[in-house]
Amino acid sequence: MGVAQSNEHGASSPEELSSMLAERFATKCFTPLELTHFKDNFFSRALEQGGLRYWNEKVLSDFLGIPDGIYTSSQKQPLDAGPVIFRMVSYLGAFPFQNTLAPSVLTFEAMVKVVVLLTERYGKALKRGHKDRIKLLFGSLADVGRKIPAESSRECTTEDSEASAEHSHALGFSIDAPANDEYDEDEDDDLALAALESLDAIEVFKHDHRVDKTVYETRISIDTFRRLLMLLLVIAPLKPLESLRVYTFGLDVQRMESLKKEADSIIAAFSPEESDGGISYKAFARTISLSLPYLFDPLTALFEHMLFSKNLNLSRRRHKEQATETEQEESEENEEPPSPPAALTLPGSFESSILNPTLTSHLSFFLPSTSPDINILRSSVKLHPVFSTSAHGSSLTSFSHHVLTWQTATLLLLQGSPADSTSEELITLGAYIPQTWKTSISTSSSSSKTSDLLPCLFQLSPKHILLPGNPSPSAKKPNTPTAYFSTNTGIAVGCRIPAPSRTQQNYPTPHGAGSLIIDSNIETAEFHAEPVGHDGVFLPAANTSPEDPSTKIKLDLYTLEIWGIVPDPESSSFSADPSLSPVEIQRAKWEFEAREAERRRNINLKAGAGDSAKESARWLLETAGIIGDEARYSGGRG
């Protein structure tokens, strides 16, 4: 009997249609080899109850390698993201019948849908997917006002498993109850409808969602979201076949505190309302779309693990045949700590006092690589040291020497504390600048192939704020460059640059929705963020309205760093000489300038000048970063 006939006679149930959808996903979204690995991973670990093969939370967490916590000599520091991941998976496994089937027992069919949705493979089977994935993710996390799944404990008894398998289809989520607010009624479940169009099951779906307008009055609790964010921050660099242990091994109290602090900075971007119990759907959808577009990317690599089975790895299999089970267990117990993951930064003239693994993960949640489709950690992009006040001093001449010769995109980072305040709160700001720096307001085009990407201005702590680049051509005016530099006025990002004057010194002024001004001594900085303004380099941040107050922060600078973005350290596609990489070309330019400075020094410091005069002149040149070991080796030979 065909699906259409079944529908006409009312024989097709949501359970049957859900199973059919899983079968379609499996055949369209996985290769035959991937599906073979998937089946081996699932069934080799599946529990069985009354003929039903399924995974519980412990099996899921153990397979993915999610630790429940770390232990120190005095206390346990919980990561405790396993229950959150299990809740998400139980909700997504019921797709597209969350009203009727959620929370789902994690059968093979349910896990197929979970992996397809979390690894974004639905494009091969669904017409409209990316937009509504955010709705599904919110639904899977919302836990305020929602019933608690019967089978959510790691220590699941047999009776609990039986109860879960028997009643999971009847237990629903209050998140799917009818609700009325400011959303338009034509905001349908496009993702779910597209999933069922080819199955001729639209009427069954509409019956299941007869009162559901996908308008969410529930909330994601702050505690739930913090636990997930801490896990995402840890595994952000994870590659599809890489062990999670590479990133979870050795988490200590200090790192856990750093993770919690960074997670709280991100949570603040969602404007959570404690009185309402957490993060609303509106704030979640808008912030993810506009401010943290790559936040859930780590889950893609995590669930790609389902598509590779170690049991089917032939080299491992041969090794297994040569060893007894006891020997293997002893080998695992005595296993050496995993090698540290590859760093995003390249070696150079300084090591960052700002960047650390946690902050780098935060950057990857919104910073693109050479394409807007992929974040900076999921590509071959590297960061090359260009300038640091800690290593090169606070001279704008040194800044000019190092930064203005860099020919690809740059990342500006700075840290400081509020000026004229007793607060010691550390504030971290930055800007992604895809064009080369300019010392004039000319609009000469950049040679960098990353110049097609839009810039952004951001605050990382104590609250995540992202001011995206303005794509409007009207924003690209000669007197409003993305980044501007002058030895007289300092550094300006997203500002209006005044016309030169012979009678007075004019300074850059804030313009549009966001700007950053650093004084000529690199001692103070001013960060401006406006809730309105669409005529500047940057647009207003997400979750702002015209009624919101302006943000103006003046900082006493501790550190300023400029990092050059190298699309591929081994590639020569960004250089005129095909035999040289961008780093080698940059190093050659720096060394040429150093030789020229040395030549000028030898001309000026002629024989006959007093030793004190020579030393004084040399000190000035070294302070400016023009001569000396730092200038000579600042290209990366370290």
Summarize pLDDT for 357-382 with one digit per residue, the tens. 999 999 999 999 888 888 999 888 99
Grade residue 130 by pLDDT with cuts at 50, 70 and 90: low
In the structure encoding, which two tokens stand for residue 129, read together? 């997917």
State the average pLDDT over residues 415-441. Answer: 86
Grade residue 186 by pLDDT with cuts at 50, 70 and 90: very low
Confidence at residue 450, expressed as pLDDT on a 0 to 100 scale:
44
Q: What is the rounded average pLDDT for all residues in the chain?
A: 77
Is the CB of residue 434 less than 8 Å from the CB of residue 456?
A: no
H/E segment holding residue 556: strand 551-566
Confidence at residue 17, expressed as pLDDT on a 0 to 100 scale:
81
621 pLDDT higher than 60: no
Higher local confidence (pLDDT), 252 or 74: 252
Grade residue 610 by pLDDT with cuts at 50, 70 and 90: low
Confidence at residue 161, expressed as pLDDT on a 0 to 100 scale:
43
483 pLDDT higher than 60: yes
Residue 365 neighbours by CB distance under 10 Å: 25
Summarize pLDDT for 318-329 with one digit per residue, the tens. 455 455 545 544
Domain range list for the chain = 14-145+187-305, 372-441+451-574, 583-622
H/E segment holding residue 388: strand 382-388
Confidence at residue 24, expressed as pLDDT on a 0 to 100 scale:
84
391 pLDDT higher than 60: yes
In the structure encoding, which two tokens stand for residue 323, read together? 């060893």
425 pLDDT higher than 90: no
Poorest-pLDDT segment among 96-100, 174-178, 214-218, 445-449: 174-178
Is the CB of residue 539 less than 8 Å from the CB of residue 468?
A: yes
State the average pLDDT over residues 171-192. Answer: 41
Burial of 92 (0-12, 13-18, 19+ CB in 10 A): buried
Grade residue 553 by pLDDT with cuts at 50, 70 and 90: very high
**Pairing verdict, β 382-388 and 410-418:** unpaired
386 pLDDT higher than 60: yes
* Percent with pLDDT over 70 in the chain: 66
Grade residue 7 by pLDDT with cuts at 50, 70 and 90: very low
Summarize pLDDT for 156-169 with one digit per residue, the tens. 444 444 444 444 43
Summarize pLDDT for 217-230 with one digit per residue, the tens. 788 999 999 999 99
Summarize pLDDT for 555-600 with one digit per residue, the tens. 999 999 999 998 876 554 444 454 556 666 666 666 666 666 666 6
Is the CB of residue 491 less than 8 Å from the CB of residue 517?
A: yes
Confidence at residue 595, expressed as pLDDT on a 0 to 100 scale:
65
Q: How far is the C-alpha of 258 from the C-alpha of 245, rounded, in Å? A: 19
